[in-house]
Amino acid sequence: MKMQGNTLLITGGGSGIGRGLAEAFHALGNKVVIAGRRQQVLNETTAANPGMTSLMLDIEDAASIRAFAQQVATEYPELNVLVNNAGIMKVEDLQHPPANLDVAEQTIAINLLGPIRLTAALMPLLRKQPQSTIMTVSSGLAFVPIAPTPTYCATKAAIHSYTQSLRFQLRSTTTDVLELIPPYVATELMNGGTSDPRAMPLDQFIAEVMTILKTQPEATEICVDNVKRLRFAGASGHYDAVFQGLNQAMAGLH
């Protein structure tokens, strides 16, 4: 994707990886629109970045997404980059169903159905542009899951598969399809994540991602070095060892 001259929409852009990407692209002179359902967080981010704008979006609700897409088409007809970033990650106790089902269903609605619905709703607008990009944020846990957050990991595995199919179907068009695959990054996605020494600092992650985007324009999967052990665990023949080590390390997650 090109790094300048874009109008970007970033879901979940008020915090964490979404905010980091929003600020990095904003600093390059792009027009950046962040979306989410926490107005205060959106306001704090736009106030800190003059010129950045925001829209409210309930990514969990199909009707909200349809109305949102119409609003975007009206207010930002030049939109050419969609970053599907919004997501939740919650611990589930699979030994005591059905108490965990509400969490599972919400996670699927936000992490999987949300990006699918929003991509479909904005596809006509994106396809009108001379060049456009759809970037979806998955996770290293799409490739090696951690047991305490099974539905989160499953949705990320599903969105990886969906992204591959989307890329193949759009291969002869002017719309590029990218997948950003983060490692464990120091954000609020997990309880205590911002202060966990095992997590990659957010600023370092964003800096490496932007470098990859600038220097490897042909890349379809954006993998920083810290996530490659998970992304390629199967291909390297070390999946079982990586799975066991990762889950032992995260055994205390709650």
Checking if the pLDDT of 189 tops 90, the result is no
CA distances to 61, 136, 145, 196 from 189, in Å: 20, 16, 16, 12
Percent of the chain at pLDDT above 90?
A: 90
- Please write the tens of the pLDDT for every residue from 10-45: 999 999 999 999 999 999 999 999 999 999 999 999
Q: Residue with structure tokens 């911002």?
A: 194
Q: How far apart are CA 129 and CA 165, in angstroms?
A: 21
Q: Is the pLDDT of residue 54 over 70?
A: yes
Query: Rounded CA gap, 219 and 1, in Å?
Result: 9
- What are the tens digits of pLDDT across the range 97-131? 777 799 999 999 999 999 999 999 999 999 999 99
> Which of the four pLDDT bands, split at 50, 70 and 90, describes residue 192?
confident
Through-space distance between the first and last CA atoms of the chain, rounded to whole angstroms? 38
- In DSSP notation, 223-249 reads --GGGHHHHTHHHHT-HHHHHHHHHHH
Q: Is pLDDT above 60 for 254?
A: no
Output the CA–CA distances (angstroms, integers) from residue 168 to 105, 137, 161, in the order listed.
28, 18, 11
- Domain spans, the chain: 7-249
pLDDT tens across 69-80, in order? 999 999 999 999
State which fold the 7-249 domain adopts.
Rossmann fold (3.40.50)
b or e along 110-119 (b: 16 or more beta carbons within 10 Å of the residue's beta carbon)? bbbbbbbbbb
Q: Say whether 184 is catalytic.
A: no
Q: CA 212, CA 236: separation in Å to the nearest integer?
A: 22
Mean pLDDT in residue range 203-230: 97
pTM score: 0.95
Set 152, 162, 184, 239: catalytic member: 152
- Secondary structure (DSSP) of 64-93: HHHHHHHHHHHH-TT--EEEE---------
Q: How far, in whole angstroms, is CA 140 from its chain's centroid?
A: 12
- Rounded mean pLDDT, 178-205: 89
More confident residue, 167 or 190: 167
Q: Return left, alpha or beta for 192; rule: phi > 0 is left, psi -120 to 50 is alpha, else beta.
A: left
